[in-house]
Structure 1
Amino acid sequence: MTEARTLKIKTSLARQMAQPGGRTVAEVERRANERLDRHRDDVMITVAGTITELELVASAAAPGSEPQVYKLASSLLDMAGFFDTGPLYDAGYSLCEVADRMAVSGAWNWPSVQVHVRAMRMILTGGCQADATSDALLMGLRSVAAKART
């Protein structure tokens, strides 16, 4: 019986990767973040527009517009999640959670939505900074979310 032999084949990719040089992971991450930051202002304008849409939906409180709340809030999270928006992201997430729970239970409460939207506007106006004001707003939103769970 012949003995099996193992051959090591070096592909062109393996040869290229074995060569010295290239970029470090830290350098690639830094460059990616720089490129992403170029879009921050445009994204924050879009986030502000989404909050305006939420304000219109919440103030109208029209029957049948409830699904719009979750759709707009999740869209806000999709955009804000790429940047450090701290308390704004947390407030948007809380609104998604509240809207989802109210939709499932069938007990919709527009004032809960309005409170979240006003808080998001205040946080955005404050520059999305984590401070005593945003902490107090988030604490209030947590109590609204806790009430939606019951």
Structure 2
Amino acid sequence: MSVEKVTEARTLKIKTSLARQMAQPGGRTIADVERRANERLERHRDDVMTTIAGTITELELAAAAAAPGTEPQIYTLASSLLNTAGFFDTGPLYDAGYSLCDVADRMQTSGAWNWPTVGVHVQAMRLILTAGCKADATTDALLLGLRSVAAKTRQDG
């Protein structure tokens, strides 16, 4: 007869240096880290707003030319504006840019391009940027008008 030897499994907890460091008191709070990141980001606001103004100028030129074949450029520029504006609280400017992306995409897909619709969006974005991207009664009215234009584009497409 054979005798089996039974052994018990043991688990060992290994503490890494990172786990030891994280267990120590001190460090930064999440609120402090967020505040510091926002402060660093805010240092770039003026440069970003200059870039956004340049993109709006490019949109104005493209809309004024209304040249066949430049339609895809409108969506590209508007989405570039959104990518940049999304880092800051640009409120109504972001909303207007999003609306332009939406209508440009719909017009491109349907093949029914409407340059005045693009022009209205670009003018609204210029006004919003010039007013400091603040949400107020004027920008609310502009966005309401853009929603109306976008709804018309959806109906026509």
5+ residue gaps, structure 1: none
5+ residue gaps, structure 2: 1-5
> 1:93 Cα shift?
0.3
1:138 and 2:114 matched:
no
Question: For residues 146 and 122 of structure 2, what CA distance do their matches in structure 1 show?
Answer: 10
* Runs of 4 or more consecutive aligned structure 1 residues displaced over 4 Å after TM superposition: none
1:30 and 2:35 matched:
yes
1:67 and 2:75 matched:
no
> 1:67 Cα shift?
0.4
1:16 and 2:21 matched:
yes
The TM-score, its normalising length taken from structure 1, stands at 0.98
Question: For residues 133 and 93 of structure 2, what CA distance do their matches in structure 1 show?
Answer: 6
- What value does the CA root-mean-square deviation take over the aligned residues? 0.6
How many residues align? The count is: 150
1:57 and 2:72 matched:
no
Structure 1 residues 25-63: Cα deviation after superposition (integer angstroms, max 9, x where no partner): 000000000000000000000000000000000000000
Question: For residues 103 and 143 of structure 1, what CA distance do their matches in structure 2 show?
Answer: 19
Among 137, 140, 152, the alignment partner of 1:147 is 152
Match of 1:108 in 2: 113
Match of 2:10 in 1: 5
Match of 1:92 in 2: 97
Rg bigger for which structure? 2
> 1:2 Cα shift?
2.1
